[in-house]
Amino acid sequence: MTRPMHKYGIRALVGAATGLAVALVVGVTTAAKDSSQPVGPGQLAVELHAAGLDPDSLASAGFSAAQTTSAVSQVQEDFTTLGLELQSARLALHDASDDRARLASIVRSGTSTPEQREALAAAYDAEQAARLDLADAVLALSSVATEGLPSNLVQVLGRIESNSGHDLPTWHRATVRDDAEWRDIRYAVASERIHQSLGASVPASVQGILSTANADPAVAAARANYETNGVAVAVAWHDAIWR
Protein backbone atom coordinates (compact mmCIF):
# COMPACT_ATOMS: atom_id res chain seq x y z
CA MET A 1 0.00 0.00 0.00
CA THR A 2 1.46 3.36 -1.02
CA ARG A 3 1.66 5.92 1.75
CA PRO A 4 0.22 9.37 0.92
CA MET A 5 2.87 12.08 0.72
CA HIS A 6 2.71 15.20 2.87
CA LYS A 7 2.05 18.27 0.72
CA TYR A 8 5.52 19.67 1.40
CA GLY A 9 7.07 16.35 0.46
CA ILE A 10 5.28 16.49 -2.88
CA ARG A 11 6.50 19.99 -3.62
CA ALA A 12 10.02 19.15 -2.54
CA LEU A 13 10.01 16.17 -4.90
CA VAL A 14 8.72 18.24 -7.80
CA GLY A 15 11.24 20.97 -7.04
CA ALA A 16 14.19 18.58 -6.79
CA ALA A 17 13.35 16.85 -10.05
CA THR A 18 12.83 20.17 -11.78
CA GLY A 19 16.09 21.54 -10.43
CA LEU A 20 17.97 18.59 -11.87
CA ALA A 21 16.23 19.04 -15.20
CA VAL A 22 17.13 22.74 -15.27
CA ALA A 23 20.79 21.80 -14.93
CA LEU A 24 20.44 19.37 -17.81
CA VAL A 25 18.38 21.48 -20.19
CA VAL A 26 19.02 25.17 -19.54
CA GLY A 27 22.75 24.49 -19.43
CA VAL A 28 22.62 23.67 -23.16
CA THR A 29 25.09 20.80 -23.11
CA THR A 30 27.08 19.58 -26.05
CA ALA A 31 24.72 16.61 -26.31
CA ALA A 32 21.88 19.01 -27.11
CA LYS A 33 23.57 19.76 -30.41
CA ASP A 34 22.49 16.30 -31.56
CA SER A 35 18.97 16.67 -33.00
CA SER A 36 18.30 13.05 -32.03
CA GLN A 37 18.90 13.78 -28.33
CA PRO A 38 15.95 12.15 -26.51
CA VAL A 39 13.49 14.29 -24.61
CA GLY A 40 12.09 12.99 -21.36
CA PRO A 41 10.15 13.87 -18.21
CA GLY A 42 12.94 16.02 -16.79
CA GLN A 43 12.89 18.33 -19.81
CA LEU A 44 9.09 18.25 -19.85
CA ALA A 45 9.03 19.55 -16.26
CA VAL A 46 11.48 22.33 -17.14
CA GLU A 47 9.57 23.42 -20.23
CA LEU A 48 6.25 23.45 -18.39
CA HIS A 49 7.80 25.73 -15.78
CA ALA A 50 9.29 27.94 -18.49
CA ALA A 51 5.87 28.29 -20.11
CA GLY A 52 4.19 29.21 -16.81
CA LEU A 53 2.52 25.81 -16.52
CA ASP A 54 3.94 24.92 -13.11
CA PRO A 55 1.67 23.52 -10.36
CA ASP A 56 1.41 26.74 -8.34
CA SER A 57 0.41 28.80 -11.40
CA LEU A 58 -2.13 26.22 -12.57
CA ALA A 59 -3.69 25.93 -9.11
CA SER A 60 -3.86 29.70 -8.62
CA ALA A 61 -5.48 30.14 -12.03
CA GLY A 62 -8.25 27.76 -10.95
CA PHE A 63 -7.27 24.56 -12.75
CA SER A 64 -8.48 21.36 -11.12
CA ALA A 65 -6.36 18.24 -10.74
CA ALA A 66 -8.16 16.69 -13.73
CA GLN A 67 -7.57 19.76 -15.89
CA THR A 68 -3.92 19.77 -14.86
CA THR A 69 -3.57 16.15 -15.93
CA SER A 70 -5.21 17.04 -19.26
CA ALA A 71 -2.86 20.00 -19.84
CA VAL A 72 0.28 17.98 -19.13
CA SER A 73 -0.95 14.97 -21.13
CA GLN A 74 -1.71 17.11 -24.17
CA VAL A 75 1.86 18.39 -24.17
CA GLN A 76 3.22 14.92 -23.52
CA GLU A 77 1.56 13.55 -26.65
CA ASP A 78 3.50 15.97 -28.87
CA PHE A 79 6.56 16.46 -26.70
CA THR A 80 8.99 14.59 -28.92
CA THR A 81 8.44 17.30 -31.51
CA LEU A 82 7.87 20.21 -29.11
CA GLY A 83 10.84 19.25 -26.95
CA LEU A 84 13.25 19.04 -29.85
CA GLU A 85 12.01 22.37 -31.20
CA LEU A 86 12.62 23.95 -27.80
CA GLN A 87 16.07 22.35 -27.54
CA SER A 88 16.93 23.70 -30.97
CA ALA A 89 15.63 27.18 -30.13
CA ARG A 90 17.56 27.30 -26.85
CA LEU A 91 20.75 26.17 -28.56
CA ALA A 92 20.31 28.78 -31.31
CA LEU A 93 19.89 31.51 -28.70
CA HIS A 94 22.90 30.21 -26.77
CA ASP A 95 25.07 30.33 -29.91
CA ALA A 96 23.76 33.75 -30.98
CA SER A 97 24.40 35.19 -27.51
CA ASP A 98 27.93 33.77 -27.48
CA ASP A 99 28.64 35.27 -30.90
CA ARG A 100 27.31 38.68 -29.85
CA ALA A 101 29.33 38.62 -26.60
CA ARG A 102 32.52 37.65 -28.46
CA LEU A 103 32.17 40.47 -30.98
CA ALA A 104 31.17 42.99 -28.32
CA SER A 105 34.31 42.14 -26.36
CA ILE A 106 36.46 42.78 -29.42
CA VAL A 107 34.76 46.10 -30.12
CA ARG A 108 35.14 47.21 -26.48
CA SER A 109 38.84 46.40 -26.62
CA GLY A 110 39.35 49.08 -29.27
CA THR A 111 41.04 46.68 -31.68
CA SER A 112 38.06 45.84 -33.89
CA THR A 113 37.95 46.17 -37.65
CA PRO A 114 35.07 47.83 -39.55
CA GLU A 115 33.93 44.35 -40.58
CA GLN A 116 33.76 43.21 -36.95
CA ARG A 117 31.77 46.28 -35.97
CA GLU A 118 29.31 45.55 -38.75
CA ALA A 119 29.21 41.93 -37.66
CA LEU A 120 28.36 43.02 -34.10
CA ALA A 121 25.28 44.91 -35.31
CA ALA A 122 24.18 41.82 -37.22
CA ALA A 123 24.88 39.65 -34.16
CA TYR A 124 22.55 41.78 -32.01
CA ASP A 125 19.82 41.29 -34.63
CA ALA A 126 20.46 37.54 -34.76
CA GLU A 127 20.29 37.27 -30.98
CA GLN A 128 16.97 39.12 -30.88
CA ALA A 129 15.59 36.90 -33.64
CA ALA A 130 16.67 33.82 -31.69
CA ARG A 131 14.90 35.14 -28.57
CA LEU A 132 11.70 35.61 -30.56
CA ASP A 133 12.00 32.10 -32.01
CA LEU A 134 12.36 30.65 -28.51
CA ALA A 135 9.36 32.68 -27.31
CA ASP A 136 7.34 31.28 -30.21
CA ALA A 137 8.37 27.73 -29.31
CA VAL A 138 7.35 28.27 -25.67
CA LEU A 139 4.03 29.76 -26.82
CA ALA A 140 3.43 26.74 -29.04
CA LEU A 141 3.85 24.43 -26.04
CA SER A 142 1.50 26.57 -23.94
CA SER A 143 -1.11 26.56 -26.71
CA VAL A 144 -1.01 22.77 -26.92
CA ALA A 145 -1.33 22.45 -23.14
CA THR A 146 -4.37 24.72 -22.83
CA GLU A 147 -6.25 23.62 -25.95
CA GLY A 148 -9.87 22.84 -25.10
CA LEU A 149 -9.58 24.09 -21.51
CA PRO A 150 -11.79 26.91 -20.12
CA SER A 151 -10.80 30.24 -21.65
CA ASN A 152 -11.34 32.15 -18.39
CA LEU A 153 -8.80 29.94 -16.60
CA VAL A 154 -6.36 30.22 -19.49
CA GLN A 155 -6.68 34.00 -19.33
CA VAL A 156 -5.81 34.08 -15.62
CA LEU A 157 -2.93 31.67 -16.22
CA GLY A 158 -1.60 33.98 -18.93
CA ARG A 159 -1.79 36.96 -16.59
CA ILE A 160 0.12 35.08 -13.88
CA GLU A 161 2.80 34.17 -16.41
CA SER A 162 3.02 37.69 -17.83
CA ASN A 163 3.76 38.93 -14.30
CA SER A 164 6.38 36.24 -13.62
CA GLY A 165 9.13 38.85 -13.53
CA HIS A 166 7.83 39.92 -10.13
CA ASP A 167 9.20 37.71 -7.37
CA LEU A 168 5.84 37.15 -5.70
CA PRO A 169 3.51 34.27 -4.85
CA THR A 170 1.42 33.27 -7.85
CA TRP A 171 -1.83 34.66 -6.46
CA HIS A 172 -0.34 38.15 -6.21
CA ARG A 173 0.51 37.94 -9.92
CA ALA A 174 -3.09 37.27 -10.97
CA THR A 175 -4.01 40.94 -11.23
CA VAL A 176 -3.00 44.14 -13.04
CA ARG A 177 -0.90 46.76 -11.24
CA ASP A 178 1.15 49.78 -12.22
CA ASP A 179 4.90 49.92 -11.54
CA ALA A 180 4.52 51.71 -8.20
CA GLU A 181 1.99 49.16 -6.96
CA TRP A 182 4.24 46.25 -7.98
CA ARG A 183 7.12 47.86 -6.11
CA ASP A 184 5.00 48.34 -2.98
CA ILE A 185 3.67 44.79 -2.91
CA ARG A 186 7.13 43.28 -3.49
CA TYR A 187 8.45 45.34 -0.59
CA ALA A 188 5.52 44.36 1.65
CA VAL A 189 5.74 40.63 0.92
CA ALA A 190 9.50 40.64 1.54
CA SER A 191 9.13 42.72 4.70
CA GLU A 192 6.46 40.42 6.10
CA ARG A 193 8.63 37.38 5.42
CA ILE A 194 11.65 38.92 7.13
CA HIS A 195 9.74 40.14 10.19
CA GLN A 196 8.02 36.78 10.63
CA SER A 197 11.32 34.90 10.32
CA LEU A 198 12.73 37.09 13.10
CA GLY A 199 9.66 36.63 15.28
CA ALA A 200 8.99 40.35 15.06
CA SER A 201 5.72 42.19 14.54
CA VAL A 202 4.94 43.17 10.98
CA PRO A 203 4.76 47.00 10.71
CA ALA A 204 1.30 48.49 10.33
CA SER A 205 2.29 50.14 7.06
CA VAL A 206 3.26 46.76 5.61
CA GLN A 207 0.05 45.17 6.89
CA GLY A 208 -1.91 47.94 5.19
CA ILE A 209 -0.26 47.30 1.81
CA LEU A 210 -0.86 43.57 2.11
CA SER A 211 -4.46 44.05 3.21
CA THR A 212 -5.18 46.21 0.18
CA ALA A 213 -3.44 43.75 -2.15
CA ASN A 214 -5.23 40.73 -0.70
CA ALA A 215 -8.60 42.48 -1.07
CA ASP A 216 -8.17 42.66 -4.84
CA PRO A 217 -10.86 40.26 -6.20
CA ALA A 218 -8.44 38.61 -8.65
CA VAL A 219 -5.85 38.06 -5.92
CA ALA A 220 -8.43 36.77 -3.45
CA ALA A 221 -9.83 34.32 -5.99
CA ALA A 222 -6.37 33.08 -7.02
CA ARG A 223 -5.32 32.59 -3.41
CA ALA A 224 -8.52 30.69 -2.62
CA ASN A 225 -7.91 28.51 -5.69
CA TYR A 226 -4.36 27.79 -4.58
CA GLU A 227 -5.29 26.98 -0.99
CA THR A 228 -8.13 24.72 -2.14
CA ASN A 229 -6.46 22.83 -4.99
CA GLY A 230 -2.71 23.45 -4.63
CA VAL A 231 -1.80 20.04 -3.22
CA ALA A 232 -4.09 18.08 -5.56
CA VAL A 233 -2.78 19.97 -8.60
CA ALA A 234 0.84 19.39 -7.53
CA VAL A 235 0.19 15.65 -7.23
CA ALA A 236 -1.61 15.50 -10.58
CA TRP A 237 1.17 17.50 -12.31
CA HIS A 238 3.88 15.26 -10.90
CA ASP A 239 2.02 12.03 -11.66
CA ALA A 240 1.25 13.10 -15.23
CA ILE A 241 4.93 13.79 -15.94
CA TRP A 242 6.56 10.84 -14.20
CA ARG A 243 3.87 8.22 -14.64
Q: Which tens digit of pLDDT belongs to each residue from 85-106?
A: 999 999 999 999 999 999 999 9
Same-domain pairing of 203 and 237: no
Domain of 78? 7-96+133-174+218-241
Total count of domains within the chain: 2
Residues 6 or more apart whose CB falls under 8 angstroms from that of 167 comprise 186
Would residue 124 count as lying in a domain?
no
Lowest-confidence pick of 12-21, 36-45, 228-237: 12-21
Burial class (CB in 10 A: 0-12, 13-18, 19+), 3: exposed
- Tell me, what amino acid is at 135? A
Would residue 125 count as lying in a domain?
no
pTM of the model: 0.78
Same-domain pairing of 150 and 208: no
Same-domain pairing of 211 and 144: no
Same-domain pairing of 17 and 66: yes
Same-domain pairing of 90 and 39: yes
Same-domain pairing of 56 and 162: yes
Question: What's residue 40's pLDDT?
Answer: 80
